[in-house]
Amino acid sequence: MSDVNNGWPNLRALELLVAVVDEGSVGAGARKIGMAQPNASRSIVELEASMKAVLLERRPGGSVPTQFGLIVADHAREVLEAAHDFTDWAIESQSGRQQELCVGASMTIAETLLPAWLAAARERLPDARITISVLNSSQVIDEVQQGRLQLGFVETPHVPVRLHSRVVQEDELLVAIGPRHEWAAHTGQISLRELAETALVVREPGSGTREALQELLANYVPVEPAQVLSSNAAVRVAVASGAGPAVLSELALRDHLAHGHLLRVPFEGSGISRPLTAVWAGPRRLSRLAGDLVAIAAS
């Protein structure tokens, strides 16, 4: 199974073992991967010798994997998948295709973090062409799943298991009010029950911020919102105008709190954070440009 000089597994032998397990015989497995029968038989013998174990039981009707053979085949599938991902990445990296990237970002990330990430990426690869779609988190995930975006950045913790993902940062949720709101004179924390019983200015369904608010108030039945708006900027304007409080990302509120346009109100569970996550489909290994952008985001 391995080369005596470097100890690496023989990927061709592992590919054959998986094919034999799937097809039911050495001959059928060999045909599936395009290997001659004599070479296949010899490869299996060498693989068993290197593993010091019997992997296949030869029977008149074909070959049946032993219990250990099944375990080896399962691990071999993981190794082969990683090898295929690496090959795809290497081909793409040499083809020039990595210089183009379609990225989707949820609104908080697009407004506050993505511009700096893009500037850093273009410093590394000046000829790169990166197109951006600004959507809410559920829309970004859908576009990535459909293959219309190569990479997405979302605020929701609910990432489908069939997508690859990496948490790049954490974001804190804050309660914000206008300077003339009655809570401005409040000296203690706002309870989650009081928050749920207050008509809030909220983002639209499908946004990561709205999902985070729903999780925060999951033990209560919130009243109808005062307004439902499709951007953080619109929520901030409504809150500053006295429409009601809002629960927003610290990133989306930072400058407005610093200048006194909005005020922060402590609440029960203050310090609750949510992940900001990169998501992608296809090979686990990202193209060079996408990998650089994710690394920049995580740094």
pLDDT at 83: 83
Q: Tell me what percent of the chain is helix, strand and coil, each rounded to the nearest 5.
A: 45, 20, 30
What lies within 8 Å, CB to CB, of 195 at 6+ separation is: 175, 216, 217, 245, 247, 267
Q: Residue 107 carries which side chain, given as an amino acid letter?
A: M
DSSP string, 214-283: HHHTTTS-PPPPSEEESSHHHHHHHHHTTS--EEEEHHHHHHHHHTTSSEEE-BTTTT-EEEEEEEE-S-
Instruction: Determine the Cα–Cα distance for residues 111 and 117; give it in Å rounded to an integer.
Output: 11
pLDDT value of residue 191: 93
Strand 273-280 and strand 164-177: the pairing is antiparallel
In 3D, which of 114, 85, 71, 51 has the Cα closest to residue 283?
A: 85
Beta bridge pairs of residue 202: 228
Distance CA 150, CA 127 (A): 18
Q: How far apart are CA 290 and CA 190, in angstroms?
A: 42
Q: Tell me the C-alpha distance between 293 and 120, whole Å.
A: 8
pLDDT score at 4? 41
Q: What are phi and psi of 111, to 5 degrees?
A: -75, -35
Please report the pLDDT score of residue 86 as a whole number: 78
pLDDT of residue 269: 72
Q: What is the pLDDT of residue 92?
A: 61
Instruction: Give the tens place of pLDDT for each residue, 177-201.
Output: 999 999 998 888 999 999 999 999 9
Q: What are the sequence ranges of the domains in the chain?
A: 11-95, 99-299
Residue 124 is predicted with a pLDDT of 86
CA distance 152 to 144: 7
Which pLDDT score is estimated for 1? 46
At residue 2, the pLDDT reads 46
Topology adopted by domain 11-95: Arc Repressor Mutant, subunit A (1.10.10)
- Amino acid in the structure at residue 244: G
Give the angle subtended at the CA of 135 by the CAs of 130 and 138, to the nearest 5°.
120
Mean pLDDT by 10 residues, the chain (299 residues): 57 92 91 91 90 89 89 91 76 62 95 95 88 95 96 93 94 94 90 95 93 91 96 96 95 95 88 90 85 94
Q: Give the model confidence (pLDDT) of 73-86 as tens digits.
A: 999 998 888 887 77
69 vs 86: CA distance, rounded Å: 25
Residues written for the chain:
299
pLDDT value at position 91? 67
156 in Cβ contact with 211 (< 8 Å): yes
The class that CATH gives domain 99-299 is: alpha beta
